[in-house]
Structure 1
Amino acid sequence: GAVRAVMGGYDYYHSKFNRATQAMRQPGSSFKPFIYSAAMTKGLTPTSVVNDAPISVPGTNWSPKNYGGGYVGPTTIAEALAKSRNLVSIRLLRTTGIPYTIDYAMRFGYQRKHLPPNLTLALGTGLTTPLQMATAYSSFANGGFKVNSHFIKRIEDSIGNVIYDASADIKYACGDNKKFCSIDPITGKAIADTKSKEEPQKKTDADKTEDTAETDGEKSPENKIAAKPEGIQVAAATRIMDSRTNQNIVSMMQGVTQFGTAARAGRILKRKDLAGKTGTTNDQKDSWFCGFTPDYVTVAWAGFDDMAELGEGETSTKIAVPMWVDLMQKVLKDIPQKPWVKSGKKLQSVKIDMDTGEIATDDSDNIAEEELADIQKAGQTTQRFEFTNSQVATQAAQQQQFNTVPQQTTVNTTPPPQQPAAPPPESVEIPEQIF
């Protein structure tokens, strides 16, 4: 949660308004990972198949569509997130439930009053700040724990007494180094080592090779993280996302940077430990890319204070992603690639029938190999939404009736095209009047 750098505008003397911490903007599609991960807590996996087909809302002027038009029909949610398919996000939100999804998003620090209680939430019509987005995304990067962003790590008085220590609010890294904390198997919380510096732990012979750094660490604030500062109650961070969901959503967001709307980042940086999500709001008023590695979360945003348009075709792929890449080329220059910390079950490779979303059989024709954090029994691997198979997808899209808010919602009867064009850069369609 420690903030390493922040830039709230291009010229402080021109404007002291800090857009990184004060500007309330719509996140657009960069909010979709919270829609998808909420759905995965209900049992979905990256290979769950959802129909990308038209939706209309009778009685309103809202008819959401994918940027550039076109629909691909049944698609996995991993592919849908990577290519930012808007109709899939709406179907996931409707199926998961709007109240549940709002409560889920609030775990990450979002405020209820800024989250619209309707289906437009799936397209990122809420309000947030770049700092809030970075704080929320940090829970993806750290394995599923809630952390609080902070600018000050520690304050001591003139004789060394601790007045403030941010470690009272942050998550202790639970990686290979088990000295610092472990996970409570019942509560799912990180348990910090709260032994005070007056009660040093006994070291075995095997630990003595590391003794120099730890001995000197009694005097170094950098190495006091395992000690409970006098007068400070160390709090363990709360797990807000189970490990299976965390590993799956991070894997899906890696797809965004490898073959999705932010593939430019993976291509230029030549790294595979990148994950994130782009976001472009209606009329190109906001451009976002929220990206992260196992060590850093960085959010790039661009927009005008007066809500003017950035320009026709100026999507996040053209604005926010290049900004992010330019900064991270410097940040990651001397940092080697590293695997994501696996806090739960290991990812397992499995062959999936892409027409059904289930484990492939000898009769499967369209097969892809996917890595999942949890492999269930055949026939229960995924949930399929609003279609039976690719042959009846169009018919299902025409006949499906929806019962969620708003009432009497039906699918547009126009079938998806047989051969959809390649997905263009993403955007979202936000209605002028939110129902």
Structure 2
Amino acid sequence: MTNTPQVLGPRALNRATLSRQLLLDRAPMRAGDALTHLVGLQAQNVKPPYYALAARLADFDPAELSDELESRRAVRTVTLRSTLHLHTAADARALRDFTRPAIDGELRHFRSGLAGVDLDRLTALSREFVAKEPRTPKDFREELARSWPQADPQALGVAARCLLPLVQVTPRGLWRRSGRVALVELDQWLAESSGAGGDATAAAPLRAEDVIPRYLAAFGPASVKDMQAWARLTRLRPAFERLAPRLRTFHDENGTVLHDLPDAPRPDPDTPAPPRFLPEFDNLLLSHADRTRVVPAAYKGRSWKGNQSFSVFLLDGFLAGVWQLTQDKDTAVLTIEPFGTPNRAQRADLTAEAAALLEGPLHTDSIWSGYDIRFGTVVDT
């Protein structure tokens, strides 16, 4: 795109990122392909991955994502930022080593509770323990406390999760059928599967040079610090420098160098952006060091309270408020709480988007027979 300006302002960055996040136009894409393109979905809770794809995919059916999990073509495991993500089986294997420094950082955070614990022995005991059957986090804490009664039980459980590539087995994570958290090793879970991702062949380790183009395809244009925030890694600059001949360079309004794929979409800053309802912890809001491309300065910190993230909505491509879905008897109630004062057209657009979700991917006859869309007010956080 020879006419693209060298300096990209917030709206240009916003529209480029929304396009790659499939949030300008819903994509006619399968759930598994979307997981690959987006390099996984944040999945600390069960529903967010479904809400995330409902905002991004045309004609999305939650049962399709559930099928990816049941067939073990997709898994829920700890990767980026040492947090739980839903990935394709191939990405879960490959990203584990790439994100190892972030996972090791979490382990170091709990080292005071692991005084006197032999981590090699803990790894061996945990692997033997989980090989027999899926185990809950409580099972791990209790079993490991037998060998190290002086250690902090929470730290022991975290250590097992950090030292072994554990996945949450189904029915945990399935739409409307979720169960308790139970864990097995990744390769064990996939080896037992007859699905497309079920062979036990080890994936080739990913280098930073392998991951950078995928990050830019989903989140670019971006700086080195942006990608480091996305993965919670450091020292990625040399990899960007090695890729420089294959990348295009821009600057933001503060002079920060931004890298991008030459042919990636960079829509006109005035491209219309429809309202979108996103789940808590959506990666759109977590994957850049500078979040002003999505979060206006006036609303910084408004989507969080303590460690809890709210479900949010976008107006004109930018964070504009929070929302929640509750149930009143047999009626689904979607409450929209704007940070500012939407005009009449924006309220109509938000109502139409909410109705499309409640009549489409989020609707289940056995859960509710009708719905109500309400506007509320946000208490200042």
Shorter-chain TM-score above 0.5: no
Name whichever structure is richer in helix by fraction. 2
Which structure exhibits the higher relative contact order, with contacts defined as CA atoms closer than 8 Å and separated by 6 or more residues? 1
Asked which structure has the greater CA Rg, the reply is: 1
TM-score with structure 2 setting the length: 0.30
